[in-house]
Amino acid sequence: MSDSIKVGSVALECPDARQLAAFYAQITGGTVTSADDDWATVRCPGGDIDFQTAPGYQPPAWPDPSSSMQMHLDFLVDDADAAEARVLAAGATKFDVPPGDHFRVYADPAGHPFCLCIAGALGQ
């Protein structure tokens, strides 16, 4: 027995679990391993992302300074331009915030922020 703690997955609330799972499977090259009206799971490189349908879900208003981001996902990419084209084609929206030298910020179709981070830029 060990006292180690490992991340199993991250779960995002959204208006439609199946729809958002399909988006993340498309952008990560992952696979939707389960999906129903309430819950969906995507197995993608690096781990699982779960989606829970929440009928009253309200996306964050970030980058509005009066709103928090709530949370965001970081994805490592080798080619930021190619990855950007892929996520935009899948339905992401690019935030109108100045990108850093090593990342770009987007929103998924449900409004959750996520970043495409250039692999190796921060020692990952």
Inform me whether the pLDDT recorded for 122 exceeds 70: no
Residue 43 has pLDDT above 60, yes or no: yes
pLDDT at residue number 60: 87
The residue-averaged pLDDT of 13-35 equals 97
Give the CATH number of domain 1-57. 3.30.720.120
Q: What does pTM read for this prediction?
A: 0.88
**Those residues with Cβ within 8 angstroms of residue 32's Cβ, 6 or more apart along the chain or in another chain:** 18, 21, 22, 25, 40, 41, 42
| Domain boundaries for CATH 3.10.180.10 within the chain | 58-124
In the chain, where does the domain assigned CATH 3.30.720.120 lie? 1-57
Instruction: Give the pLDDT band of residue 24 (cuts 50, 70, 90).
Output: very high
H/E element, 13? strand 9-14
> Which pLDDT score, from 0 to 100, does residue 104 have?
92
d(CA 116, CA 90): 14
Model pLDDT for residues 88-117, shown as the tens digit of each residue: 999 999 998 776 778 999 999 999 999 999
Sequence length of the chain is: 124
CATH number for the domain whose boundaries are 58-124: 3.10.180.10
Mean predicted confidence (pLDDT) in 34-49: 95
pLDDT of residue 121: 66
Predicted pLDDT of residue 113: 93
The string of pLDDT tens digits covering residues 46-80 is 899 999 999 999 998 888 888 877 888 999 999 98
